[in-house]
Amino acid sequence: MKNCFTYIFAVVLAILAVSCEEVNPTHFHDISGVYFNNRTGSMALTDSLGYTFVYEAGKELEVPVKVQLVGRPSEMDRPVHITVSSDNASEGVDYILPSESVLPAGATEFDYIVRLVRTPALKSETKMLRMQIHSNEHFRLPIKEMIQLGDTVTTLKCRIYFSDMFTKAPLAWSEREIGTFTQQKFELICRVLEIDPADFNDTSKITLAKLVYIGSEMTSYVRSENEKRIAGQPYDEEIIDQATGLPMVFNLK
């Protein structure tokens, strides 16, 4: 009986020893993949990114496209194969790509930075880039899509839409103080009064008092420039509304 208990005790110890060993799935070590992992403000995965220059003062806009690693980091830099194409945008004219696409050593993600260029064509046309991530000697593509809220989102392709047009008036715009919104009027205000375009989406910067000031100053500016026009002198041609052919109106009161 004593030998029997000894045997049982030895078996239990062996089982406990095995159960306490670190479990490392062998397949995880073999996985080395990448996918696009772009998120919206609500952290939802998206395969479509939209940008506009209307609130930008500069001529270029940097767009980070996030590339995510599947698997363990490496001790060396590894190139990622990404292609970019478009039907209505030209590389070097409308957009500029990074010189290389590399997942750095020790990293689990990186941003592939696309620089969008502000061109006159964006005033009337939305341009679109198609990006696609491919397998290579370093990475496979184990995650091809994700399903969220009933929609299937691809993780291997990404589209970037960009323009220099408004879809709606900025948050701080008030028709009572500065008239009906148009993009031409908005850009004239920002240029003449040297206002950062992004300020118009911040009501703490474009207050009611500031709107009253803008309406007054721009009304005076248009009047002065129009007097030059009537007198046959050089004037700011942007004071003439492109839609009506008449001087702009900034105060409806």
* Domain CATH number, residue 55: 2.60.40.2030
User: What pLDDT was estimated at residue 253?
Assistant: 56
> Range of 50's domain?
31-163
Q: What would the mean pLDDT of 76-84 be, rounded to a whole number? A: 98
Q: What would the mean pLDDT of 221-236 be, rounded to a whole number? A: 96
- Same-domain status, 186 and 134: no
Q: What is the pLDDT of residues 153-204, one digit of tens each?
A: 999 999 999 999 998 899 999 999 999 999 999 999 999 999 999 999 999 9
- Same-domain status, 104 and 139: yes
- Same-domain status, 42 and 132: yes
Q: What is the pLDDT of residues 104-128, one digit of tens each?
A: 999 999 999 999 999 999 999 999 9
What is the number of domains present in the chain?
A: 2
User: At which of 103, 135, 163 does a domain end?
Assistant: 163
- Same-domain status, 159 and 187: no
- Same-domain status, 91 and 43: yes
User: What pLDDT was estimated at residue 2?
Assistant: 43
Q: Indicate whether 10 pLDDT > 90.
A: no
Q: Indicate whether 5 pLDDT > 70.
A: no
Q: Indicate whether 11 pLDDT > 90.
A: no
**Exposure of 50 in the CB half-sphere (CA atoms within 13 A):** 8
Q: What is the pLDDT of residues 43-61, one digit of tens each?
A: 889 999 999 999 998 999 9
Contact (CB, 8 A) for 189 and 197 = no
Q: What is the pLDDT of residues 234-253, one digit of tens each?
A: 999 999 999 899 999 987 65
User: At which of 163, 186, 214 does a domain end?
Assistant: 163
Is 158 within a domain?
yes
- Same-domain status, 123 and 60: yes
- Same-domain status, 159 and 201: no
- Same-domain status, 67 and 188: no
- Same-domain status, 93 and 202: no
Q: Concatenate the DSSP letters of all residues of 33-88 into one string.
A: EEEE--B-TT--B-SEEEEESTT--SSEEEEEEEEEEEE---SS-EE-EEEEE-SS
Is 214 within a domain?
yes
Q: What would the mean pLDDT of 210-226 be, rounded to a whole number? A: 95
- Please state, for a pLDDT cut of 90, what percent of the chain lies above it: 79
